[in-house]
């Protein structure tokens, strides 16, 4: 072969590689097949939990019934949550043709003040243990969703959870997580008793496939069902009978046992905290992206950050940049930096004054102003929050704090060689996605009470660790300083999108601060690059670590970018020239689960990532 023909051949190969890198939306072979269904679909973090959703559909239940059963079974199976965690949900109601938000995030308990934690020498509330707990939200969230929007009884919906609590063959992922965390679990007597059945042996956790039994949790769940049964026998309506179980948990003997068990280990939650807490049914926030309505929960979670990033990216020709080209990755990274800087400053519990500036944050004009800060050829390591108040006709109440705020504060930057935090960025939580032929659609991101969790006395309930997402200093985030009764700004973020006024997609992902990053790219993969939902679930993502982490020491890593190991060398070189510090993993997102509605054929497509244990079933 001549030197000229060799050079031409090399150019052709490079052109082909670039064309495939730029347009991955063509038919791709996926590691997992897509799901197809016509009548219903159920996708979540464990195969057995997906089966529980299918069981509800077989009983004549709707997508809400199935979602509630799946929340219960994933909580029972410790799928990165337990019954003392929190449940965030979006529900599309086909009767009203509206999306509804379910806020079942717990609140900081009595005595949980910034001064209290500072007096113990803490910079933030701890990652684990009784002082990391907020009030349980998952039982209330499940019960309210079922009572208001489901069709089945609580007894029917909790039957799979009770059976699993009586004993189920534990999966390797959960069993190994228990073994890894056994030292910490031994600090809490109830956790040690429940989670470590082989104390004194080389392996003290359950073995994969072993029957894992939680008789105390089973007894707690049976008490909820019994409360419903007694209310029905007394002539109560279906709804009121289900809510009798709510009262028994938060105002009755279950709550009393929970408080007593947690207090014995140093927890702060009181019976009054439980009695005053309530689930909120809310109107979600929304933005449009090229005519598609994208719905998220508001500022008590990080959800609006994805909407802000979509507003910034909407005017740009992302498709022309090429999927995961250096220019595309840089642009998405910068849009996320701008959105997450606002998250880190402005997001918090809207029930506490002053009001978060959500109208300004989601203003298209504000997005255009923010987009002007993007440098086309360089990362800005000190992207700061903007001022959205003028875009809603207001004045910033924290202007002086804003002027002093910095991303790249040297005291907050994590060591660059610690990849454990990189992995923890996209580990944790689970997702529940359901839909049915009646038109009900549910997207849930339940979490909290993950291993290693404190189990509260003889209730079998693992308590939340969500207090760590608060800050203690208003200079960091004046809207998210811990105080009793306040919800922490969590990372949990379900999503529902409508096109032409009807459901288009429901999707969610686990993974802490990476959740809205991964969901943003999943959405763009489908909308801009024409991928199927399964292709988009498996596609490579970037992850930014420039925002302030919501866990641990809330560290920031300006310029740190996680990309796939398959990223070509010329893209790596270009990104490094833009100032990025690259890190590589074979998997670059938590497991993404999604449902897409094929209006042309009247069917549903389901996607579930090809790693982890997430699984779907459809009919």
pLDDT in tens, 428-465: 578 999 999 999 999 999 999 999 999 999 999 999 99
Contact 49, 591 (CB under 8 A): no
User: What number is the average pLDDT over the span 45-74?
Assistant: 97
Q: Whole domain around residue 519: which residue ranges? A: 285-430+493-618
Average pLDDT value for residue range 563-570 = 96
Q: Which two tokens stand for residue 238?
A: 């279906």
The enclosing domain of 508 has a CATH number of 3.60.20.40
pTM of the full structure: 0.94
* Confidence band, pLDDT 50/70/90 cuts, at residue 17: very low
- Phi then psi for residue 561, to 5 deg, are -135, 125
> Which DSSP string do the residues of 481-515 spell out, in sequence order?
B--TTPPP-B----EEEEETTEEEEEEEE--GGGH
Decide if 313 is inside a domain: yes
Whole-number Å distance between alpha carbons of 591 and 510: 6
Distance of CA 353 to the CA centre of its chain: 25
Contacts of 202-207 with C-beta under 8 Å, sequence gap 24+, read 203/179, 204/179, 205/175, 205/176, 205/178, 205/179, 206/170, 206/175, 206/178, 207/170, 207/175
Phi/psi of residue 451, each to 5°? Answer: -70, 125
Q: Is the pLDDT of residue 501 over 60?
A: yes
pLDDT of amino acid 20: 35
**pLDDT attached to residue 423:** 46
As a whole number of angstroms, the distance between CA 165 and CA 220 comes to 10
Q: Which residues contact 608 (CB under 8 A, 6 or more apart)?
A: 32, 35, 43, 534, 537, 591, 592, 593, 594, 614, 615, 616
CB 130 within 8 A of CB 266: yes
CA dihedral 250, 256, 258, 262 (to 10 degrees): 130
Q: Give the Cα separation of 92 and 513 in Å (integer).
A: 25
Please determine, for residue 149, whether its predicted confidence score (pLDDT) is greater than 90: yes
Q: Does any domain span residue 277? A: no
Give mean pLDDT, residues 227-254: 98
Identify the band that residue 411 occupies on the pLDDT scale cut at 50, 70 and 90.
very low
pLDDT band at 421 (very low <50, low <70, confident <90, very high): very low
pLDDT in tens, 276-302: 999 999 999 999 999 999 999 999 999
Strands (E), 437-573: 441-444, 495-499, 502-509, 543-544, 560-564
446 vs 67, 90, 437, 450, CA distance in Å?
Answer: 11, 11, 24, 11
pLDDT score of 406: 85
Percent of the chain whose predicted confidence (pLDDT) is above 90: 90
If DSSP codes are grouped into helix, strand and coil, which group holds residue 79?
A: coil
Instruction: Judge whether residue 89 has pLDDT over 70.
Output: yes
Query: What is the mean predicted confidence (pLDDT) over 391-397?
Result: 97
Q: Considering the domain boundaries, does residue 125 fall inside one?
A: no
Placement of tokens 């009030």 in the chain: 135
Q: DSSP state, 380?
A: -
* 159 contacts 224 by C-beta, under 8 angstroms: no
In the chain, the number of structural domains is: 1
Higher-confidence residue of 558 and 10: namely 558
Torsion, Cα 371 373 376 377, to 10 degrees, reads -150
Torsion, CA 290, CA 296, CA 298, CA 302, rounded to 10: -100
Q: Is residue 484 part of a domain?
A: no
* Bond into 354 cis (ω within 30): yes
In the predicted structure, residue 540 carries a pLDDT above the cut 90: yes
User: Do residues 522 and 593 touch, judged by C-beta distance below 8 A?
Assistant: no
User: Domain for residue 195, yes or no?
Assistant: no
Give the helix ranges, DSSP H, for 372-514: 399-404, 419-425
Domain assignment present for residue 394? The answer is: yes
Whether 324 maps to a domain, the answer reads yes
Q: What is the pLDDT of residue 613?
A: 87
Per-residue model confidence as pLDDT tens digits over 256-277: 999 999 999 999 999 999 999 9
Per-residue confidence band for 408, with pLDDT thresholds at 50, 70 and 90: low
Give percent above pLDDT 70 in the chain. Answer: 92
Residue 571 forms part of a structural domain: yes
- For residues 273 and 107, the answer to whether their CB atoms sit within 8 Å is yes
Distance CA 287, CA 280 (A): 22
Average pLDDT, rounded, for the chain: 92
Q: What is the average per-residue pLDDT within 386-396?
A: 97
């Amino acid at each position: 072969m001549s030197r000229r023909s060799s050079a031409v051949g090399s150019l052709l190969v490079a052109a082909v590689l670039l064309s495939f890198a730029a347009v991955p939306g063509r038919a791709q072979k996926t590691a997992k097949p897509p799901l197809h269904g016509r009548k219903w679909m159920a996708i979540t973090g464990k195969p057995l939990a997906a089966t529980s959703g299918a069981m509800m559909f077989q009983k004549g239940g709707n997508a809400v019934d199935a979602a509630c059963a799946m929340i219960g079974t994933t909580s029972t199976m410790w799928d990165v949550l337990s019954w003392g965690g929190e449940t965030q949900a979006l529900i599309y109601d086909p009767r009203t043709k509206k999306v509804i938000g379910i806020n079942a995030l717990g609140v900081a308990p009595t005595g949980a003040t910034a001064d209290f934690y500072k007096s113990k020498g803490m910079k933030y509330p701890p990652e684990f243990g009784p002082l990391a707990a907020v009030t349980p939200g998952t039982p209330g969230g499940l019960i309210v969703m079922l009572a208001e929007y489901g069709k089945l009884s609580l007894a029917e919906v909790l039957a799979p959870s009770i059976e699993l609590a009586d004993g189920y063959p534990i999966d390797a992922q959960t069993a190994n997580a228990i073994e890894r965390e056994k030292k910490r679990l031994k600090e809490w007597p109830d956790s040690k008793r429940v989670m470590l059945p082989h104390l004194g042996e080389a392996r003290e956790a359950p073995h994969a496939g072993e029957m894992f039994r939680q008789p105390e949790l089973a007894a707690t769940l049976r008490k909820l069902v019994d409360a419903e049964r007694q209310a029905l026998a007394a002539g109560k309506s279906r709804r009121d009978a289900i809510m009798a179980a709510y009262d028994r948990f938060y105002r009755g003997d279950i709550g009393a046992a929970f408080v007593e068990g947690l207090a014995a280990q140093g927890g702060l939650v009181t019976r009054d905290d439980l009695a005053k807490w309530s689930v909120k049914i809310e109107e979600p926030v929304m933005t449009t992206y090229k005519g598609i309505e994208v719905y998220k929960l508001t500022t008590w979670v990080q959800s609006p950050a994805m909407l802000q990033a979509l507003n910034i990216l909407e005017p740009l020709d992302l498709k022309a940049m090429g999927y995961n080209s250096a220019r595309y990755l840089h642009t998405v990274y910068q849009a996320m930096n701008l959105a997450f800087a606002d998250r880190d400053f402005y997001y918090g519990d809207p029930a506490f004054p002053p009001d978060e500036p959500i109208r300004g944050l989601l203003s298209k004009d504000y997005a255009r102003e923010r987009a002007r800060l993007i440098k086309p050829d360089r990362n800005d390591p000190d992207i700061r929050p903007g001022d959205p108040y003028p875009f809603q006709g207001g004045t910033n109440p924290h202007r002086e704090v804003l002027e002093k705020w910095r991303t790249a504060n040297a005291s907050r930057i994590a060591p660059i060689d610690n990849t454990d935090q990189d992995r923890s960025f996209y580990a944790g939580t689970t997702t529940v996605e359901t839909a049915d032929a009646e038109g009900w659609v549910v997207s849930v991101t339940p979490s909290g009470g993950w291993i290693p969790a404190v189990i509260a006395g003889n209730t079998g309930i693992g308590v939340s660790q969500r207090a760590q997402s608060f800050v203690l200093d208003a200079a960091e985030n004046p809207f998210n300083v811990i105080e009793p009764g306040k919800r922490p700004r969590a990372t949990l973020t379900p999503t529902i999108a409508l096109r032409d006024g009807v459901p288009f997609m429901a999707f969610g992902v686990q993974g802490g601060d990476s959740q809205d990053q991964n969901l943003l790219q999943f959405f763009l993969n489908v909308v801009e690059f024409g991928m199927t939902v399964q292709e988009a679930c498996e596609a490579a993502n970037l992850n930014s670590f420039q925002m302030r982490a919501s866990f641990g020491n809330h560290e920031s890593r300006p310029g740190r970018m996680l990309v796939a190991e398959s990223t070509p060398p010329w893209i790596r070189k270009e990104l490094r020239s833009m100032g990025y510090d690259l890190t590589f993993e074979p998997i670059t997102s938590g497991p993404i689960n999604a449902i897409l509605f094929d209006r042309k054929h009247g069917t549903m497509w389901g996607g579930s990532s090809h790693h982890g244990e997430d699984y779907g079933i459809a009919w």
